[in-house]
């Protein structure tokens, strides 16, 4: 098992955000996490990444307990995080932004280089010397994914990558995530667009009010009309 999240409870201040969340992933999977806004999806990713610390439960990555580790320590173990806010450096060029993703003294096979990133994101190569603040929303999303891949993650946590993007860019992001997965990177994807989530993930979890209310395959989810109606329809 690549990732095991078992009965975690996470608080933000006095608010009990995650209430016994459990999920798991195997290597080379794409697993999607769906649910309405504010139910705890992003907090789940942040709990795995160490940006917030669960008060109860445990998280294991490759069999190692990671609750209590700092984000940079978790990153060095092989987890990359693509936040919803993107957080690129607006005054750095595309190339400089990508270089900030490199982990020092890292020994991996088939590492990600700028040239390899540009082969997946030719649009970024054409913007190589452009500063981050001059990129479109879609280009910023590509840059955020590319910068995270420069750290050679085994597992990629991706938060709402298609939000606010035009349909053509959504298609591009879906294609890129598929291709990244095909070269061996596992992906835990938070995605509100059901069609996008189902195209990418063979297995899915649905959250409501800080709890997992459904877990199953894409086919099982499609067959469960009640789950979609109760927890996902606006």
- Position 233 confidence tier, pLDDT thresholds 50, 70, 90: confident
Specify if 216 maps to a domain. yes
In this structure, is residue 218 part of a structural domain?
yes
As for how many domains the chain has, the answer is 1
CATH code at position 37:
3.40.50.300
Does 101 fall in a domain?
A: no
- pLDDT of 133: 93
Could you read off the pLDDT of 15-43 as tens digits, one per residue? 999 999 999 999 999 999 999 999 999 99
Average pLDDT, whole number, for the chain? 93
% of the chain at pLDDT higher than 70: 97
Give me the pLDDT at residue 23, please: 97
Q: Is the pLDDT of residue 234 over 60?
A: no
Confidence band, pLDDT 50/70/90 cuts, at residue 45: very high
Q: What is the mean pLDDT of residues 105-110?
A: 65
Percent with pLDDT over 90 in the chain = 84
CA distances from 198 to 60, 77, 205 (A): 26, 28, 11
The whole-angstrom separation of Cα 47 and Cα 216 is 22
Q: Is residue 121 part of a domain?
A: no
Does residue 184 lie in a domain region?
yes
Write the CB contacts of 191 (distance below 8 Å, at least 6 apart in sequence): 32, 33, 34, 160, 161, 162, 197, 200
pLDDT higher than 60, residue 83 = yes
Please indicate, yes or no, if residue 43 is contained in any of the structural domains: yes
CB 132 within 8 A of CB 90: yes
Domain that includes residue 187, residue range: 3-85+152-231
Contact, 71 vs 51, CB < 8 A? yes
Mapping DSSP to helix (H, G, I), strand (E, B) and coil, where does residue 66 land?
coil
- For residue 103, pLDDT over 60 is answered with yes
Whether 105 maps to a domain, the answer reads no
Residue 133 lies in a domain: no
């Amino acid at each position: 098992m690549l990732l095991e999240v078992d009965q975690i409870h996470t608080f933000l201040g006095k608010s009990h955000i995650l209430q016994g969340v459990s999920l798991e992933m195997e290597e080379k999977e794409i697993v999607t996490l769906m649910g309405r806004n504010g139910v705890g999806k992003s907090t789940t990713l942040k709990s795995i990444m160490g940006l917030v610390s669960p008060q109860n439960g445990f998280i294991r990555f490759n069999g190692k307990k990671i609750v209590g580790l700092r984000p940079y320590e978790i990153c060095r173990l092989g987890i990359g995080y693509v936040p919803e806010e993107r957080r690129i450096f607006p005054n750095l060029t595309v190339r400089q932004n990508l270089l900030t993703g490199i982990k020092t003294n890292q020994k991996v096979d088939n590492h990600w280089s700028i040239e390899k990133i540009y082969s997946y994101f030719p649009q970024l190569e054409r913007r190589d010397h452009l500063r981050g603040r001059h990129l479109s929303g879609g280009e910023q999303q590509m840059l955020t994914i590319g910068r995270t891949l420069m750290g050679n993650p085994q597992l990629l946590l991706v938060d709402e990558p298609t939000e606010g993007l035009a349909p053509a860019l959504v298609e591009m992001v879906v294609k890129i995530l598929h291709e990244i997965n095909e070269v061996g990177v596992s992906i835990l994807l938070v995605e509100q667009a059901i069609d996008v989530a189902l195209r990418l993930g063979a297995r899915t979890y649905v959250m409501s009010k800080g709890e997992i209310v459904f877990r199953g395959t894409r086919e099982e989810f499609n067959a469960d009309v009640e789950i979609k109606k109760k927890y996902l329809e606006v």
